[in-house]
Amino acid sequence: MQVSAYLKLSVAVALAAIALKTAAWWVTGSVSLLSDALESLVNLAGATFALLMVTIAAHPADDDHPYGHHKAEYFSSGFEGVLILVAALAIIAAALQRFWAPQPLDSLSWGLSLSLVSTAMNGALAWAMLRKAREHRSIALEGDARHLFTDVWTSVGVVLGLLAVGATGWLWLDPVVAIAVAANIAREGVSLIRRSVDGLMDSALEPQVLADIDKTLDGFRHQVLRFDHLSSRRAGSRRFIDLHMHLPRDWSLGRAAALRSSVEQALMSAVPGLRATIELLPMDVEPHAGDEEDLP
């Protein structure tokens, strides 16, 4: 399945989860189950927006976007992070109201059963989506998968809390569990927003990827060839590097270009999705870097 297919499936599962969790809240009156249903509503909005951004990211490069549209995925994870924080605030508001005015809970067995069915659906989908996200390096799909995992643990916490309410009769546990749920999903929301900002700010490639690149370049280094001034950045599933390759001054352009092509092919084989830009320079030439002190 493609990334977009998983996101479409996520939309369908979110709709089913909303129905099940809303029914669970309706039959029990539990504010913690209401908080669980609200998070599923956020899942639906996040999956829908992620599907839109992945569709945009798949568009080929054009005159206005010569490097492609891959960064659209970062908007998806950032948007989902904001939605999670909004949901957390709504949950806290509802829980505080219930904390000051506790209400008895009804039909707990039915409500918990509906919640557990929804949890199993979300857990299976989240596991499959996270595997696919790592395979395709899709931050939009990863963001949606991690949000679903948060929903799973949230639901587990709600079920355990309601079981404690049923066993002890302590009604105040219901809003306390809801507030704990809100704190947990808020943490996940902040993490998604931070990752989105890092991506939009052109973060460097992961240390392990940079190590793979350096190992590949080591296979070409010798006395008459060196590499320097390597810089890197990420854009969704794409990775980019720029570097200088210094060669003997007396080499022909054809020979230098052929070697550069070999280096590029080796780098792209070592790091899937990599785009390498290599500038050819004579061995004794160092380009002017244009540092900050040159700015007015």
SS (H, E, C) 217-280: HHCCCECCEEEEEEEEEEECCEEEEEEEEEECCCCCHHHHHHHHHHHHHHHHHHCCCEEEEEEE
CATH of 3-200, one of 1.20.1510.10, 3.40.50.2300, 2.60.40.2140, 3.40.50.620: 1.20.1510.10
Q: Report which of residues 267 and 199 the model is more confident about.
A: 267
Q: Work out the average pLDDT over 195-200.
A: 73
Predicted pLDDT of residue 222: 79
- Report residue 34's pLDDT band, with 50, 70 and 90 as the boundaries: confident
Measured CA to CA, the distance from residue 244 to residue 230 in angstroms comes to 7
Q: Which residue is associated with the tokens 């595997």? A: 131
Q: Work out the average pLDDT over 142-171.
A: 75
Q: Is the pLDDT of residue 290 over 70?
A: no
Q: Is the pLDDT of residue 294 over 60?
A: no
Predicted pLDDT of residue 236: 62
Tokens of 170: 């302590």
Judge contact between 273 and 135, C-beta under 8 A: no
The percent helix, strand, coil of the chain (3-state, each to 5) is 70, 10, 20
For 54-67, the pLDDT digits (tens) are 777 777 777 777 76
- What ranges do the domains of the chain cover? 3-200, 207-294
CATH homologous superfamily of domain 207-294? Cation efflux protein, cytoplasmic domain (3.30.70.1350)
Tell me which range, 6-10, 100-104, 160-164, 254-258, is most confidently predicted by mean pLDDT. 254-258
Q: Report which of residues 121 and 151 the model is more confident about.
A: 121
pTM metric for this prediction = 0.57
Q: Is the pLDDT of residue 48 over 60?
A: yes
The closest alpha carbon to 46, from 69, 77, 20, belongs to 77
For 87-126, the pLDDT digits (tens) are 778 777 777 776 777 666 666 677 778 778 888 887 888 8
Mean pLDDT for all residues in the chain: 78
